[in-house]
Amino acid sequence: MSGPLSLREFEALARDRLPLSAYDYFAGGADDEVTLRANESAFARLRLLPRVLRGNAAPDLRTSLLGADIAMPVVIAPTAFHRLADPEGELATARAAAEADTLMIASMASTVAVEDIAKAGGADLPLWFQLYIQSDSKVTEALVRRAEDAGCRALVVTVDSTVFGRRERDHRHGFHDLPEGLYCENMRGLAGDGGVRPIEMIRDLDWEHVQRLRSVTGLPIVLKGLMHPADAVLAAAHGVSALMVSNHGGRQLDTVVATIDAVADVVAAVDIPVLVDGGVRRGTDVVKALALGADGVAIGRPVLWGLAARGQTGVAQVLRMLRDELDRALALCGCSSVHDIPRDLLREAPC
């Protein structure tokens, strides 16, 4: 019996192996899940118009992001609670990322502490840390120091979560807390009693918070969850090093535009690296994002599907699958590298 042949087949395996509440936590989106579906369907609406007889050898997939040299412009997005998918959780994900020679963004809500994730990935893993700024600046600074001490090379600040999105699948299952024995390990020791402090969403998040963060760390700051080009301009003016165009996988505000539809305007507005996440399921999706000017893509749910299906091996297979698909798509489009993808490679499908 052959193994999974696509990321969608990995999702089917994960659905069969996970408790329904865990599967729906990973798979679900906000409200009617309009944006969740749009993230994928928007990629399908973009069609490729390849060139031929270009005389190119094997395409060069390597790239660099904020000084991290990686094997392909596909990185692991921050997603919470990997131990819901596999007992080794983020440790397995980190090892697979190192094996694939790519970059991992560790979630602040990981079920393994960031220093242990760093040890699992070893020196071969470029690691960034995703951060929700907290109302208590001392807590935020403690998290920053923890990430710095673990060797993280950048902070990825999520800015689209001033409140929690309403995910009806989670409410249906009563999924509000982690099962016994699982914790947000990066928050351990930050409560008043030394226990695990809850992660807080703050409603008054503004550019002053970004400025204060800039004053306490020398790490590059990446803003995640930005969609509007005017906000991109403000981010660059505040010294942000890179952007991640993201609608939180459709998990926050429903009916937001698909991320791939927002990329080109953001890229045109700034001269800093731009990543995109949400809806990437094929190597051709990566080509489309790069053709629109993105410097790379981040994948979230597909990593969790691989982890739930086959642990570390599954994550490695997901990353290898996307790399192979990207290589093949570039060859068939007549492109010599991930830095040689013209905008005129894309066409909008007729309505």
Residues belonging to the active site: 248
Length of the chain equals 351
DSSP state, residue 85: T
* CA–CA distance, 195 with 162 (Å, rounded to integer): 24
- Residue indicated by tokens 């094996």: 99
Provide φ and ψ at 221, rounded to 5°. Answer: -110, 125
SS3 of 8-64? HHHHHHHHHHCCHHHHHHHHCCCCCCHHHHHHHHHHHHEEECCCCCCCCCCCECCEE
Provide the 10 A C-beta neighbour count for residue 87.
11
181 φψ region: left (φ > 0), alpha (ψ -120 to 50), beta (else):
left
Q: Angle CA(164)–CA(165)–CA(166) in degrees, nearest 5?
A: 115
Instruction: Take residue 3 and report the two structure tokens written for it.
Output: 């193994």
E strand or H helix at 262, and its extent?
helix 259-269
DSSP state, residue 135: S
Cα distances (angstroms) measured from residue 65 to each of 74, 101, 238, 240: 10, 13, 19, 14
